[in-house]
C-alpha cells in the first residue's frame, strides 16, 4: 500500500466515525478548528511563515485575510444544517437529508497557503467529511504548521485527527494525482494545470477558472472613491488574489480625471520606456514569468529598473494599453500590483473591450463596475453587464478582491475559490461553499395525481398556431 493510499484509508475510517456525529457535535468541531487560525498568535505565525517560505505577498495582509475569510466562513456555516433532515416540502412530499461525500481531496495554491486550506477544511468538516490537503510545494510548511494547530483543536473536542490530513513531504505531482484518483471528491484551487488534472482524475471535481478581472469606471462614478477601492484591492497582499483587478477600462469622458484620481491614491502611470522595462522582466515569449509575482512595488521597481521618479514610492503601477490578446501581454493576468488601463469612447465600447479581453483570458470570473452610487443608471448598467458578458459576478462600487470572495458588505458566500461556469471551463458558477461538499438523499412520497391538459400547457402556442 502506498503512503497516499494509507492516508486515504485512515481518512475513511475517521470519516465513518464522524458521520455519526450530531449537528451540535459537528458544529463544535467546526468552531474548534476555526480557532486554530483565528487565534491571533497562531494566525500571525502562519502569515509570516507563508511569506517567508513562498516569497509571495505581505504578512500583515495575509493575517487580515486569514482572519476575515475564516470569520466570514464561520458566520456562513453557523446556522447551516448539514446533518439529517435539511428540508421538507409537504406540497411535493419530498424530504431532503444531508449526507457527506466521504474523503475530500483539497488542492491548494501557494498564494494562500493558510487561508485556502482552512476554508476547505472547515467546509469539509461542516458536512461530516474527512479531508486531505495537497498543498503547493512552496506552501508545504505553512500547511503543515496549520495542521498541527488543527490537530490540537481536534484533540480538545475528542474528534479523530485523521479527519484532516495532508500529503507528505515532498509534494509531488504523482502523489497529488493519486490522491485525486482515490478520493471521493476533488476541490481544486490554483493553476489551470491543477484544475485540468482534477477534472481528468476520474473523481467528481470542482475546479476554478483563471482570473483576469477588469473593472469599468464610467462617467457617473465618484472617481476618488473608485480609485481608493481599486487601490485597496490592487495592493492587498501584493495582488495575490485572482479577484484583484488586472485592468481598468476608463471612459473617455473621465479618462484624465480618473488617472489623476488613481495617482492621488498612490498609483504611478509609467511611460512607454518603463512599460517596456517592465515587460522585459515580467514576460518571456509572451508568457508571464514568476519574477514579479506578488512582489511589492519597491521590489518591482528595483528588478525592472524603472526610471519614473516616483517609482520607488508607488503603491501600484499603471501601464496604458490599446490592444488585447497574446500580442498585448499586459492584457492578461499579472498577479502583481500592476494595473493595465484602457480608454473607451463610451460604456458600450467599454463593455465590448472587456468581452474581447475575456476572450483571451478571464472568461467566467467577474467584472467590476464603478458608476453612480444608486438609481436607474447603476441598475441598468449592472444589468447590461450581467446579460452580455461571460462573467459569474458583476461587482458594483466595491473593492473587487475584497468583495468577490464574500464580504461583510455584500451577500456572497465567503470563499477563496470562485467558480467561473462553462465560460471558464468549470462545472459551477458560484463561490465554492459548503453545499458543494454535500450529497443529498431525498425521500419521495406519493401525492395526489394532477395531470395537466395539453391545451392548457400549450395555450399560448395554440393561440398563435391553432390546431
Residues known to be catalytic: 242
Short-list 171, 120, 118, CA closest to 4: 171
The number of helix segments (H) and strand segments (E) in the chain equals: 17, 17
- Give CA–CA dist 166/181, Å, rounded: 15
- Give CA–CA dist 106/125, Å, rounded: 12
Q: Is 388 helix (H, G, I), strand (E, B) or coil?
A: helix
In degrees rounded to 5, what are phi and psi of residue 367? -140, 145
Residue 327 burial (10 A CB sphere; 0-12, 13-18, 19+): exposed
- Give CA–CA dist 38/328, Å, rounded: 42
Cell 467590476 maps to which residue? 368
Contact indicator for 17, 125 with CB cutoff of 8 Å: no
Grid coordinates of 110: 501557494
Short-list 101, 77, 96, 102, CA closest to 23: 77
Short-list 95, 71, 188, 57, CA closest to 134: 188
Cell 485527527 maps to which residue? 161
Prior bond of 67 cis (ω within 30°): no
In degrees rounded to 5, what are phi and psi of residue 393? -145, 140
Short-list 372, 414, 419, CA closest to 393: 419
Residue 111 burial (10 A CB sphere; 0-12, 13-18, 19+): buried
Amino acid at each position: 500500500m502506498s503512503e497516499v493510499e494509507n492516508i486515504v484509508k485512515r481518512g475513511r475510517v475517521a470519516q465513518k466515525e464522524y458521520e455519526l456525529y450530531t449537528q451540535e457535535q459537528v458544529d463544535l468541531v467546526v468552531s474548534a478548528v476555526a480557532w486554530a487560525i483565528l487565534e491571533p498568535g497562531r494566525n500571525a505565525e502562519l502569515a509570516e511563515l507563508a511569506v517567508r517560505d513562498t516569497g509571495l505577498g505581505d504578512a500583515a495582509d495575509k493575517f487580515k485575510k486569514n482572519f476575515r475569510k475564516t470569520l466570514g466562513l464561520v458566520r456562513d456555516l453557523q446556522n447551516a444544517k448539514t446533518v439529517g433532515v435539511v428540508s421538507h416540502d409537504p406540497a411535493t412530499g419530498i424530504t431532503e437529508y444531508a449526507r457527506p461525500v466521504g474523503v475530500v481531496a483539497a488542492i491548494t495554491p501557494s498564494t494562500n497557503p493558510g487561508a485556502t486550506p482552512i476554508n476547505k477544511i472547515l467546509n469539509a468538516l461542516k458536512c461530516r467529511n474527512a479531508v486531505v490537503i495537497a498543498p503547493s510545494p512552496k506552501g508545504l510548511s505553512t500547511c503543515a504548521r496549520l495542521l498541527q494547530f488543527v490537530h490540537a483543536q481536534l484533540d480538545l473536542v475528542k474528534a479523530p485527527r485523521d479527519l484532516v490530513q495532508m500529503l507528505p513531504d515532498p509534494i509531488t505531482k504523482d502523489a497529488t494525482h493519486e490522491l485525486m484518483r482515490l478520493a471521493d471528491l476533488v476541490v481544486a484551487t490554483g493553476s489551470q494545470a491543477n484544475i485540468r488534472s482534477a477534472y481528468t482524475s476520474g473523481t467528481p471535481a470542482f475546479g476554478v477558472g483563471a482570473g483576469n478581472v477588469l473593472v469599468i469606471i464610467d462617467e457617473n462614478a465618484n472617481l476618488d472613491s473608485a480609485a481608493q477601492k481599486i487601490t485597496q484591492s490592487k495592493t492587498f497582499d501584493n495582488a495575490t488574489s485572482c479577484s484583484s483587478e488586472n485592468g481598468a477600462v476608463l471612459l473617455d469622458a473621465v479618462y484624465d480625471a480618473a488617472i489623476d484620481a488613481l495617482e492621488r491614491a498612490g498609483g504611478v502611470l509609467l511611460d512607454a520606456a518603463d512599460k517596456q522595462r517592465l515587460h522585459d522582466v515580467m514576460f518571456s515569449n509572451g508568457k508571464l514569468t514568476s519574477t514579479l509575482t506578488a512582489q511589492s512595488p519597491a521590489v518591482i521597481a528595483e528588478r525592472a529598473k524603472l526610471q519614473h521618479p516616483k517609482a520607488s514610492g508607488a503603491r501600484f503601477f499603471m501601464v496604458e494599453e490599446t490592444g488585447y490578446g497574446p500580442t498585448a501581454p499586459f492584457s492578461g493576468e499579472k498577479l502583481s500590483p500592476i494595473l493595465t488601463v484602457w480608454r473607451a469612447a463610451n460604456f458600450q465600447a467599454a463593455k465590448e473591450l472587456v468581452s474581447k479581453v475575456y476572450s483571451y483570458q478571464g472568461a467566467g470570473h467577474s467584472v467590476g463596475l464603478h458608476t453612480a452610487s444608486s438609481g436607474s443608471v447603476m441598475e441598468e448598467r449592472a444589468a447590461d453587464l450581467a446579460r452580455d458578458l461571460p462573467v459569474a459576478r458583476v461587482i458594483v462600487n466595491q473593492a473587487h478582491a475584497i468583495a468577490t470572495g464574500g464580504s461583510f458588505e455584500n451577500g456572497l458566500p465567503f470563499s477563496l475559490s470562485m467558480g467561473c461556469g462553462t465560460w471558464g471551463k468549470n462545472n459551477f458558477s458560484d463561490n465554492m461553499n459548503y453545499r458543494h461538499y454535500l450529497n443529498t438523499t431525498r425521500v419521495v412520497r406519493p401525492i395526489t395525481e394532477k395531470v395537466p391538459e395539453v391545451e392548457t400547457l400549450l395555450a399560448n402556442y395554440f393561440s398563435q398556431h391553432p390546431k
